Structures are given as C-alpha cells and as structure tokens.
Structure 1
Amino acid sequence: MTRAGLVALVCGGLMMALACGSPAGAGGGVPAPAGSTWQYQLQGPVDTSVDAATYDVDLFSTSAQTVAALHADGRQVVCYVNAGALEDWRPDAGALPEEVRGQELEDWPDEYWLDVRRTDVLEPWLAARFDLCKEKGFDAVEPDNVDGYTHPTGFPLTEDDQLAYNRLLARLAHERGLAVGLKNDLDQVDDLVGDFDFAVNEQCAQYRECEALAPFVAAQKPVYHVEYDLPLASFCPPPTGFRSIRKNIVLDAPVETCPAPAP
C-alpha cells in the first residue's frame, strides 16, 4: 500500500486523539466511532461474535435488538444506507417517483442511480431512513454511492451537484446526533473532510489511491478501509489512522483483520 503523504497522528489512534482534546465530529460535535478494529457485514444475520470495536451493518436487515446487543458488548454500530442509488427490494423503494431513477449500476442488478439534484424529493426520503437509523439506536451512518457524478448515471450530474448532496447527507446525520462517514468519493475528500466524521473506503490499496485519504488522517478522523481481492499481507500493517480488513465482496460475516502491531 502506498504510504507517502499520509500524515502521522500526533496522539496515535482516534481514542487517544479524543483524549488529547482533538475536535469532535464535524457539524454537530458528534464523535466518530472509536477503536482500532471493525466489521463490515451487509449480508446474512449479523455475527455478533466477531472481535471488532465497530460494526457497519445494514439499516433494514439489522434489528434494534441486535444494535442493543452490540452496544451491551461495548461495540459501536454504523448504519449502512444506500443514499445515491435505489435498490428495488427495499421497503421504501416505492416512495420515489420514476423520474429520479437513472441507469442500473454496473454489476448490481435492480439497483439504480438516483438524480441527486432532486433534493426536493430525496431529502424527505433520506430523512426517513436516517430517522430509522436513530430509532434503532445506531451511532453513525454510512451513506453509500455518493460519487454518482463519476459514473454513467443517466443524469448530467456535476461535481457541484455531488458536493451539495453529500453535504445534505452530513447535515441530516448530524441533526439526528449521528456521526457520518464519507464513502469512497476520493476526488472530493479535500472539499468534504470538514463535513464528515470518518471515511469508509473500498480497495484504495488495490488501486493505489490511499494517499487521497490523507486529509482525514491529518484531521484525526479514522479511515475504515476494506479490500476484497488483495491478500491481507499486501496492505498490513495499514497506515496510521486506517482500520483495514479483508472481506468477501458480498460482505457476509467472514473477515480478516490486520494483526495488531507488536508492543
């Protein structure tokens, strides 16, 4: 993994950063999930036995009881929400009009890009999803597919359209006392690091893009990083500020975590 340009944290990991008095989460004073390990599971019943400080799990298929059980075990729980694309099988899919539905995502059947310019329609729909995150007891939210302007969505989306939409997502989370993570969207990290509390990244080691996340590290905001194709040894130990794991791309329960550094 490329490491040049990543800024070392003065106080080490996020737990120590908070102890040293670093700023709380952006926008609403909401701290990001703490701890040096995480689990990312979106398929199947949540395996609560995984030794991870932070769980990132699906909004709809994860019950409030599962969130409470994870909290009772000392875990923090992130709510996965698809914010930039519509999945036909979700219970609220019918709440959106057809005109905001664009091209189908490559490799993801029955999932369609959204016209993020239409915040008049999308904001109340998103707010209801974020309300459900809050009601179930989640600590934070991970909005997915927030880089549609770089994909063939079927809409003439611009960089400014995406920035405005992503800042809307951050505001909706913070208004509910939820921390919020920036998922991928590496080209806009410099513009959005002040609005988001942590980053979630897929495959920056494989594509040699991890340096783009240096602003999060410099701001003492954690980077939750997952690889699917690379062997664990090729990106461990991770750079300072990264929590790195290897998963199956379907994001079921099995997980490989970078070993803790030797004392």
Structure 2
Amino acid sequence: MRPSALVSLAALAAATVLVPAQSAAARSAAALPAPVSCAGCWKPALNTSWQWQLSSLPQKPYLNVQMYDIDGFAAKDGAIVKSLKVDKPGRGVVCYISAGTYEDWRPDAGQFPAEVLGKPLEDWPGERWLDIRKYTGKLGEIMKARLDMCKAAGFDAVEPDNIDGYSNDSGFPLKAADQLAYNGWFANEAHKRGMSVGLKNDVEQIPQLLPYFDWALNEECWEQSECTTAQNGGYGYDQFVKAGKAVFNVEYNLATSKFCAKSNAQNFNSLKKKYELDAYRVACRGV
C-alpha cells in the first residue's frame, strides 16, 4: 500500500538470472525451506482485469473484472467475498493484510509484543514496522491467525503488504536474508491454507522469491524506473511474466500516457489509482 523505499544492494542471483558472483543474500536463500506447492490454488492468468480497493468495500454494481483485492479485516465475515464470487463465477478475491507492520486500529493490535514493534512509518499514523525475525514466536502466530481469517472468509489469495522492511528504516537491524526467510515462510503458510500469494514490492529479491510467490503486485515501479530486469540488471517483474505468473502494477503520479504502453508491452496488468485506494481506477487495458 506504499511505494517501496529501496536501498542499494548487489544484484541477487537466481537460477533464472545469471550473474558473475553470488551475493550473501543469494547464498542464504539456498538455505530456505522448499516452497510449498499450491497446485489447486486459484492463480490469476497473465492477463487479468482487476480492482484494488482498500479504503472501502466494493458496492454493487461491481466492476466486470476478474479479480478484486480488498481489505481482509473489513471483509472477515465473508459476505462481500461470497457476493463478489456469485456476481462473477471464477472471479478471484484477494485478502489484503499487512504482514510487515503493526496497525493500531486492527482488532488484533493488542496481541503484538512490545519487543516486535519498531519505528513508525512516515506518513502513516498508527503504523509501525515489525521485527520480522521473530516470526518463529508470537509474531508468527498472529500472522497465521490472519491467514486463517482470510481462509475462513472464503478468499482465494493473499496480498501481504510491507514485506520489505529490511530496505526501510524499521528500527531493527534487518538484513536481506531476514526478509527472504520471512517472506518465504509467509508464502508457504498461505499455500498450506490453499491460497495463492502475491509478492508485494520487494523488487530486489524477486529472483530468490519467485519460486514461492504466484503473482506480484507493485506500486510505482515505472515512476521509480525499476520494473524490468533491463532497468535493474538482476531483477525485474518481467521474470514473473517469463515464469507464467501475473504482474499487477499501480501508478499514482504518472499520467497513463507515461506508463500504459510500456506496461502493456511487458504484459503487466496496470492501473492508475489514487493513494487512498478508493474505487477510482483507470485501467491500461481498458477493462
């Protein structure tokens, strides 16, 4: 739900990307547990029309899109999820939750131990970074409960936000390897519950995380000039497309004339949205 704040890291290696030397983060990725298969999960096609609406729940008449991404807590009773599916059979509904930050307005906010709460997020009152290294303890139990909530509500997939704390001023000495471990663990937990999972931002770790994630969602990669491997050298969302996995992109500040043609050429599903992530949308592909 926020643009990524990237640090300068060495290009990360993967089987699909050849680089002269393997970085420490890439070496640590080799120690990650094997990706959990999710063969029966709903997974978006490369060309998927969609709506991303987090500040409110969709209202009828719904858009004729193939995927809705909505706030998981706001939809936890399952009514809107069921309604969206009845309205368009085969439509995928995605559960948005923050996996990398504490939000003081959520009903489970009181469960977070003080020791996992880091620095506030700039421009996001009531939100603080989490010490993702603690996912084997109480933090992991909270996140698994959130995934259970998504599953019980009938969601098909999960969008975990803020899973790039290592590249932000979190208040903790998070390393790239810490983020890889946490993100891989989270994706596996989603798959265990029969839901697909999207990689949110965390652009530089695409090569290592590609086997764990079923699709990707990015904010402002065209504005930041970081969408493709050609732009970055060792990582880019074209690697998702090459693997047959859908890419969803949102731009806030650019005019559609500045990014839609490029997105369509890459087979990305791009929208222009407002930062509020309300119902407003302009789709590059016209649907």
Per the normalisation by structure 1, the TM-score is 0.86
Per-residue deviation, 1:26:
6.6
Distance between the aligned counterparts of 1:130 and 1:53, measured in 2? 22
Of 243, 254, 277, which aligns to 1:219? 243
Amino acid at match of 2:73: F
1:246 aligned partner: 272
1:52 aligned partner: 65
2:211 aligned with 1:198, yes or no? no
Of 95, 119, 122, which aligns to 1:106? 122
SS in 1 for 2:260: coil
Which residues in structure 2 correspond to 1:66-77 (within 5 Å)? 66-74=80-88, 75-77=91-93
Residues 124-153 of structure 1 deviation map (CA, whole Å, 9 limit, x = unaligned): 101100001000000000000000000000
Residues 202-252 of structure 1 deviation map (CA, whole Å, 9 limit, x = unaligned): 001111111011210110100011111111122113234311001110101
Alpha-carbon contact 1:55-1:76 (below 8 Å) kept? yes
Distance between the aligned counterparts of 1:45 and 1:28, measured in 2? 28
Q: Which runs of 4 or more aligned residues in structure 1 lie more than 6 Å from their structure 2 counterparts after TM superposition?
A: none
2:107 aligned partner: 91
Residues 59-81 of structure 1 deviation map (CA, whole Å, 9 limit, x = unaligned): 01124111011111222100001
Distance between the aligned counterparts of 2:267 and 2:83, measured in 1? 27
Alpha-carbon contact 1:102-1:155 (below 8 Å) kept? yes
Alpha-carbon contact 1:198-1:222 (below 8 Å) kept? yes
Amino acid at match of 1:56: D
Distance between the aligned counterparts of 2:153 and 2:71, measured in 1? 11
1:18 aligned partner: none
Distance between the aligned counterparts of 1:117 and 1:259, measured in 2? 40
Change (3 A) 1:246 1:198: same
Percent identical pairs in the alignment equals 46
Distance between the aligned counterparts of 1:219 and 1:193, measured in 2? 8
Which residues in structure 2 correspond to 1:90-169 (within 5 Å)? 90-119=106-135, 120-169=137-186
2:48 aligned partner: 36
Alpha-carbon contact 2:165-2:179 (below 8 Å) kept? yes
Distance between the aligned counterparts of 1:37 and 1:234, measured in 2? 20
Alpha-carbon contact 1:232-1:258 (below 8 Å) kept? yes
Distance between the aligned counterparts of 1:31 and 1:44, measured in 2? 24
Alpha-carbon contact 2:248-2:270 (below 8 Å) kept? yes
Residues 98-130 of structure 1 deviation map (CA, whole Å, 9 limit, x = unaligned): 110000011111100000000112111011000
Distance between the aligned counterparts of 2:36 and 2:237, measured in 1? 16
Amino acid at match of 2:83: A
Please tell me the root mean square deviation across aligned C-alpha atoms, in Å: 1.6
How many residues align? The count is 237
Change (3 A) 1:51 1:231: farther
2:6 aligned partner: none
Alpha-carbon contact 1:130-1:173 (below 8 Å) kept? yes
1:65 aligned partner: 79
Stretches of structure 1 that go unaligned for 5 or more consecutive residues are: 1-24
Amino acid at match of 1:64: G
